[in-house]
Amino acid sequence: MIRKYTTKTDALTTILKRKASETLDVTDKVREIIEAVKTNQDDALKQFSYQFDQYQATEFLVSPTEIKQAFELVDPALVEVMKQAWHRIYQFHEKQKNNGYIMTQAGQVMGQRVLPLDCVGVYVPGGTAAYPSTVLMDVAPAKVAGVEKIILITPPDKEGKVNPNVLVASQIAGVDQIYKVGGAHGIAALAYGTQSIPKVDKIVGPGNIYVATAKRLVYGQVDIDMIAGPSDVLIIADDSANVEWLAADLLAQAEHDTLAQAILLTDSQRIFEQISEELQKQLANLPRKAIASQSIENNGKVVLVENIEEACQIANKIAPEHLELAVLEPFAYLGQIKHAGSIFLGHYTPEVLGDYLAGPNHTLPTEGTARFYSALNVDDFVKKSSYLYYSKTALQQQITAIAHFAQAEGLQGHAQSALIRREDEQ
């Protein structure tokens, strides 16, 4: 049963307290896997593929024949939906593209170039479910950024087959190569390279605790996007909201996994009273009932707030991954929200719109990290490089100042590098 609170009687700290997301520490185990892949490359990949995925690997690269077969297996209507989703997601991300700039003044030119990463690895989970939507979301900003080579890895089943929806989504998104390998060993392969799998510059994409830990451990060798924890939603609802829709939205989140978090903040006594019963009613028909009910039990909360302003203040403290403003005038409150990964405005904008096809990215900061992280975006796939030119005259005007600064820092060699160019010394 979902836990109920009122801000009048319950301390905010109780309301905001969240169960530790992951107590399992697999760092030592994952470090061993990474070391083995670094040393023994494909041999280690084959051993771990058999150990963790029961796949007796002879080949990791997905062949053109396998891709062709995938298109024969996937419902053409779904292919069409994925194409439309790709178009919308791509268009949304195109707006994020930043150009470099240039500044010029007497004898000086300086600027900043924005350059795409050469090669990116996208991890697509393949353990308990397959996520073609994640393919589209993680590849779109990389493509818009202009990344030359996009490698995708995903774990296969024990026959070495990869989910056909994932393969089709990869083709729609223009992935260059797909490898059937997953888990921590797949991440290690992307970070260090093996005989079969090219080394990349950055690894993005969600995964289980082994994948997340491996990403954390290879950070520095390569860049990573973020460490994704369990998903969460926070819904702010006023009395204009439909309690059935609210329950459906909470359950859509809860069915992700037992650690997912679904919170409802409402100033409506009616909704506060009716939500538990409605959740029970809808849970009964949910195929993933076992997961969703445990998630609601563990982390679900309904809070009766004084007003929507108070709800917005609480939301900023929680910094949710997804925030739904299920209120009559959602735009009136948008300005009050400072910390949220992605915001969904009004009764006809459920979070699932954003999960699949509206345009904004669904790879979002979890566990309160929306205070300092952003949704996956085009800037994640570029780096910035500055450049500088001074003419002879322009440099002469700065030599004394440079030398002054360098000497203050005790770096005579630095000072000399400027002084040696002084006109009257040449």
Is 404 marked active-site? no
Under the binding rule (CB under 6 A), the answer on residue 55 touching ligand NAD is no
* Edge-to-edge strand ranges of the sheet holding 322-326: 3-6, 301-304, 261-266, 232-237, 322-326, 342-345
What is the DSSP secondary-structure string of 72-114?
HHS-HHHHHHHHHHHHHHHHHHHTTPPP-EEEEETTEEEEEEE
**What binding mask, one character per residue, do residues 266-285 give for ligand NAD by CB under 6 A, x or -?**
--------------------
Q: From the CB of 30, what's the least distance to ligand NAD, in Å? A: 7
Q: Which of 128, 285, 307, 426 binds ligand NAD (CB under 6 A)?
A: 128
Catalytic residue among 185, 255, 278, 321: 321
Q: Look up residue 371 and give its amino acid.
A: R
- Quote the distance between the C-alpha of residue 228 and its chain's center: 7
| Structure-block tokens of residue 69 | 């077969």
> Is the torsion defined by CA of 331, 16, 321, 319 positive or negative?
positive
Catalytic residue among 93, 185, 322, 362: 322
Under the binding rule (CB under 6 A), the answer on residue 132 touching ligand NAD is no
Q: Which is nearer to ligand NAD, 279 or 291 (CB)?
A: 291
Under the binding rule (CB under 6 A), the answer on residue 354 touching ligand NAD is no
Is 321 marked active-site? yes
Under the binding rule (CB under 6 A), the answer on residue 127 touching ligand NAD is yes
Q: Look up residue 221 and give its amino acid.
A: Q
Please name the helix (run of DSSP H) or strand (run of DSSP E) that holds residue 323, with its range, or none.
Answer: strand 322-326
Cα separation of 102 and 386, whole Å? Answer: 9
Strand 119-123 vs strand 202-204: parallel, antiparallel, or unpaired?
parallel
Q: From the CB of 46, what's the least distance to ligand NAD, in Å? A: 13
Q: Which is nearer to ligand NAD, 218 or 275 (CB)?
A: 218
Q: Is residue 417 annotated as involved in ligand binding?
A: no
Distances in whole angstroms, Cα of residue 170 to Cα of each of 26, 76, 274: 30, 15, 43
Cα separation of 18 and 24, whole Å? Answer: 16
Q: Which of residues 141-160 bind ligand NAD (CB under 6 A)?
A: 155
Q: From the CB of 228, what's the least distance to ligand NAD, in Å? A: 5
Q: From the CB of 62, what's the least distance to ligand NAD, in Å? A: 15
Q: What are phi and psi of 111, to 5 degrees?
A: -165, 180
- Quote the distance between the C-alpha of residue 310 and its chain's center: 29
**What binding mask, one character per residue, do residues 83-122 give for ligand NAD by CB under 6 A, x or -?**
----------------------------------------
Task: Tell the residue number behind the tokens 């000072």, with chain if given.
Answer: 415
Under the binding rule (CB under 6 A), the answer on residue 368 touching ligand NAD is no
| Structure-block tokens of residue 236 | 């702010």
Q: How many residues bind ligand NAD (CB under 6 A)?
A: 24
Q: Which is nearer to ligand NAD, 268 or 363 (CB)?
A: 363
Q: Which of residues 164-183 bind ligand NAD (CB under 6 A)?
A: 182-183
Judged by DSSP in three states, 158 sits in coil
Q: From the CB of 290, what's the least distance to ligand NAD, in Å? A: 15
Q: From the CB of 212, what's the least distance to ligand NAD, in Å? A: 8
Is residue 107 packed enough to be buried (19+ CB in 10 Å), middle (13-18) or exposed (0-12)? middle
Q: Is residue 232 annotated as involved in ligand binding?
A: no
Q: Which of residues 221-260 bind ligand NAD (CB under 6 A)?
A: 228, 231, 256-257
Task: With beta carbons less than 8 A apart as the criterion, state whether 302 and 266 touch.
Answer: yes
Q: Which is nearer to ligand NAD, 51 or 397 (CB)?
A: 51
The gap between the terminal CA atoms of the chain, to the nearest Å, is 83
Q: Look up residue 158 and give its amino acid.
A: K
Under the binding rule (CB under 6 A), the answer on residue 211 touching ligand NAD is yes
Under the binding rule (CB under 6 A), the answer on residue 341 touching ligand NAD is no
Supply angle C-alpha 220, 93, 68, rounded to 5: 85
Cα separation of 40 and 120, whole Å? Answer: 23
Under the binding rule (CB under 6 A), the answer on residue 22 touching ligand NAD is no
Q: Is residue 75 annotated as involved in ligand binding?
A: no
Annotated binding site for substrate: 231, 253, 256, 322, 355, 409, 414
Binding residues (CB under 6 A) for ligand NAD: these are: 52-53, 125-129, 131, 134, 155, 182-184, 206-208, 210-211, 228, 231, 256-257, 362-363
Catalytic center residues:
321-322
Annotated binding site: 231, 253, 256, 322, 355, 409, 414
Annotated binding site for Zn(2+): 253, 256, 355, 414
